[in-house]
């Protein structure tokens, strides 16, 4: 475990069997099932209970629910999108358990759009060869799922601490999870820095899209769970695979922060991608044209933009007509009109933006991480389902399926004992960057580690992030929510740049301009990173929190066999993380 974030000592504490950090589909589902198993459960959420990424999801949730569709077909589409890096056992669990998990969600009160005959209405999205996307409110699926789960949590009486930023993992003397420290922002029953003492901690904190200047993610998506896990000594995997959604509403070259998403379901219903001249450019690029997997569409848009010297393309759905727009995509229609664009009468300007982290905290099929007692699910986790590129609308399903698996694992793993006793901690922690460094991190990542990457760009990004760290050492900022978030973003950014520099190929949503081909012979394997105070093997660099090394061996997640690594490549620039390469499961 590396130095924790600098923070005051906890002034209050809650005791529980399990604490779930996050309140999206994964966190709320895990909490409900843990509570149903008789475990005292506490939910810690950064904003309000219904304010996570889930409620922003538009398109829907993918599952083999339609006539003629099967889990095997869903599995095949998922593996294709994952570009050779999916864990096949994880994908099989997802698609085989998914339909029942969706029906249980309906049993909790979630209301999906229906056909005239009363069945679940299904649509298509990129990479799916069947109509298997269930949606609600036309394009407000996430909001409906969040509503149903929040209502169920409140009905179950699960204790919740809102407006609370989780800081660091507590451990006992044996190195097991013993809870988390957190800071409650605002007045209420709890205020300031406190702790939840629990022998099981579930990270479900969502994504890290705010590490880039332009993203579809809400402001709370600052990579907190991944950063917390790294500081706790857990391994992360596939962090280089950040999916850029192809069709985000383009609001100008200077726009920053969260941008409105134009759901892939719009293309699923027949919208076309065109350039300024109205020419379709996805036909001939892929057999599915506009419904190709997201990485292919994002690359095609970016390539066309470069060819024409443009900063955006267009999504043309004028042929839908006003009635269809108002019925099927009311949220998107309102967002476009709020920005002066009417998709009923004009094509919608779009460009790719950071959307989803396919990698995250490395887990087994029950959500266990490499730290005993610490679990992860949802976008925070790397279960192996997504590989190098998430298939559209698999994320909500992953949250449901693996949250249920985690609850079963927690109930099985816990042994009768008294409240956990956290071991003494270093109260000082490392230096904090000033809050204004957040924008600098975002600019660096957008320029050097965005849609298009290269050795030169990644090296420049790494140097810039190092300079920010050095500046922070000389002029440390005061502890607070803004500086803690900035520290999390900076840590995640450094590790992401490190692993992206180590993958000299183009695969899935990792696009290297200087290595444009996929290289299965050498790189059909995972990159696993961890912060360590020391590591065996060839030392690459000394990081403020430890030493980076290429270990002589690679290990699998808990419950998976270890495999030997390939012959190491020449050492890249110093990166500050221990990185392993691991073969995927056969």
| Catalytic residue ranges | 294
Q: How many CB atoms lie within 10 A of CB 96?
A: 16
CA-based nearest residue to 45, from 230, 226, 206, 236:
206
**Alpha carbons 123 and 397: distance in angstroms, whole number:** 15
**Residues 205 and 51: beta-carbon distance below 8 Å:** no
CA-based nearest residue to 57, from 181, 232, 206:
206
**Alpha carbons 62 and 94: distance in angstroms, whole number:** 10
**Alpha carbons 380 and 361: distance in angstroms, whole number:** 6
Pairing, β 133-134 against β 122-123: antiparallel
**Alpha carbons 164 and 186: distance in angstroms, whole number:** 9
The SS3 of residue 572 is: coil
CA-based nearest residue to 217, from 229, 227, 208:
208
Classify burial at 534, counting beta carbons within 10 Å of its beta carbon; exposed 0-12, middle 13-18, buried 19 or more.
exposed
**Alpha carbons 94 and 399: distance in angstroms, whole number:** 10
Helix ranges restricted to H, 196-244: 224-231
10 alpha carbon, distance to own chain's centre: 29
The SS3 of residue 445 is: helix
**Alpha carbons 225 and 360: distance in angstroms, whole number:** 9
CA-based nearest residue to 392, from 511, 504, 296, 488:
296
**Alpha carbons 381 and 237: distance in angstroms, whole number:** 9
The DSSP 8-state label assigned to residue 380 in this structure reads G
* Rounded-to-10 torsion of CA 358, 363, 366, 372: -150
Residues 6+ apart with CB under 8 A from 206: 22, 24, 52, 53, 217, 220, 221, 225, 378, 379, 380
């Amino acid at each position: 475990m590396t130095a924790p974030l600098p923070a005051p000592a906890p002034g209050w504490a809650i005791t529980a069997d399990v604490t779930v950090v996050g309140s999206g589909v994964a966190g709320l589902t895990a909490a409900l099932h843990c509570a149903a198993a008789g475990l005292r459960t506490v939910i810690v959420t950064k904003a309000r209970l219904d304010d996570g990424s889930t409620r922003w999801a538009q398109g829907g949730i993918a599952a083999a629910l339609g006539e003629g569709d099967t889990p095997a077909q869903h599995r095949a589409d998922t593996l294709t999108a994952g570009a050779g890096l999916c864990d096949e056992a994880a994908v099989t669990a997802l698609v085989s358990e998914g339909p029942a998990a969706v029906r249980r969600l309906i049993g909790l009160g979630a209301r999906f759009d229906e056909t005239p005959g009363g069945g679940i209405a299904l649509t298509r999205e990129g990479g799916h060869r069947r109509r298997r996307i269930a949606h609600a409110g036309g394009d407000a699926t996430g909001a409906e799922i969040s509503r149903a789960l929040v209502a169920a949590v409140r009905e179950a009486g699960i204790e919740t601490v809102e407006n609370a930023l989780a800081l660091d993992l507590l451990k006992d003397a044996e190195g097991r999870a013993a809870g988390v420290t957190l800071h409650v922002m605002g007045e209420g029953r709890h205020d300031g820095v406190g702790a939840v003492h629990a022998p099981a901690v579930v990270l479900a904190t969502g994504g890290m899209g705010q590490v880039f200047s332009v993203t579809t993610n809400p402001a709370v998506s600052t990579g907190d769970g991944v950063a917390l896990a790294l500081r706790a000594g857990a391994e992360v995997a596939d962090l280089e695979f950040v999916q850029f959604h192809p069709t985000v509403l383009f609001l100008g070259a200077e726009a920053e922060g969260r941008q409105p998403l134009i759901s892939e379901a719009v293309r699923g219903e027949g919208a076309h991608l065109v350039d300024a001249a109205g020419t379709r450019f996805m036909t001939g690029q892929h057999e599915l044209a506009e419904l190709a997997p997201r990485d292919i569409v994002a690359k095609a848009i970016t390539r066309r933009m470069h060819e024409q010297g443009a900063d955006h393309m267009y999504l043309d759905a004028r042929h839908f007509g006003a009635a269809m727009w108002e019925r099927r995509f009311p949220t998107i229609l309102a967002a476009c009109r709020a920005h002066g664009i009417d998709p009923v009468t004009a094509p919608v300007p779009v460009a790719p933006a950071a959307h989803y982290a396919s990698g995250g905290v490395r887990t087994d099929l029950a959500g266990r991480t490499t730290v005993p007692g610490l679990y992860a699910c949802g976008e925070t986790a790397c279960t192996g389902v997504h590989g190098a590129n998430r298939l559209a609308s698999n994320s909500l399903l992953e949250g449901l399926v693996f949250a249920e698996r985690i609850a079963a694992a927690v109930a099985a793993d816990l042994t009768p004992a008294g409240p956990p006793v956290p071991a003494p901690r270093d109260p000082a922690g490392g230096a904090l960057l000033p809050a204004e460094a957040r924008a600098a991190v975002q600019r660096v990542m957008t320029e050097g580690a965005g849609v298009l990457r290269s050795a030169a760009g990644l090296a420049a990004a790494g140097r810039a992030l190092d300079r920010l760290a050095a500046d922070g050492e000389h002029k440390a900022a005061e502890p607070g929510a803004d500086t803690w978030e900035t520290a999390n973003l900076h840590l995640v950014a450094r590790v992401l740049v490190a692993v992206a520099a180590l993958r000299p190929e183009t695969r899935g949503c990792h696009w290297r301009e200087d290595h444009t081909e996929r290289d299965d012979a050498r790189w059909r394997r995972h990159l696993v990173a961890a912060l360590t105070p020391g590591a065996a093997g060839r030392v690459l660099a000394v990081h403020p929190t430890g030493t980076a090394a290429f270990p002589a061996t690679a290990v699998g997640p808990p419950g998976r066999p270890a495999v030997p690594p390939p012959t190491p490549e020449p050492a890249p620039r110093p990166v500050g993380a221990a990185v392993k390469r691991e073969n995927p499961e056969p």
